[in-house]
Amino acid sequence: MSSRMPLNYDPADPDMMRLPTGLTCGDCVHIRRCKTIFGHTEADKTCDWSPSRFRRALPEEQQAEAIRELPESATFAMPPDGDGQTVEISMDAYRKVCAVFPDLVRREG
């Protein structure tokens, strides 16, 4: 008989997804959104999203280092609408976006 992965939720309450061992909602990049939508606190150990959308946030020192490494300006593709537009923004504006919406900004490496 093959071994199965443990359930990522408590069968008694399948709507509450378990977080990785030893981590809480406060360790997730989505905590601000979940506090607003679900009333979560940083100490919560389950996720209302199913499946869990937990993504570990970088420690503040690493976030600051990643932002310091950014160039003075950058060009971003606009949402795909067929015309191939791009927009150039200052890194100050980009840093503000990173601070407010860390889960929406992806660094391509």
- pLDDT tens per residue across span 51-75: 777 888 877 666 666 666 666 666 5
User: Which residues have a Cβ under 8 Å from the Cβ of 21 and sit 6 or more positions away?
Assistant: none
Identify the CA nearest to 30 among candidates 51, 50, 45, 47: 47
- Give the pLDDT confidence score for residue 43 in this predicted structure: 92
**C-alpha to C-alpha distance for 91 and 27, rounded to whole angstroms:** 26
Burial of 95 (0-12, 13-18, 19+ CB in 10 A): middle
Contact criterion met (CB below 8 Å) for 91 and 99: no
Of 46 and 9, the structure prediction assigns the larger pLDDT to 46
Asked whether residue 88 carries a pLDDT value surpassing 80, the answer given is no
H helix runs in the chain, sequence order: 31-38, 60-68, 91-100
Averaged pLDDT score across all residues of the chain: 72
For residue 85, is pLDDT > 70?
Answer: no
pTM of the model: 0.49
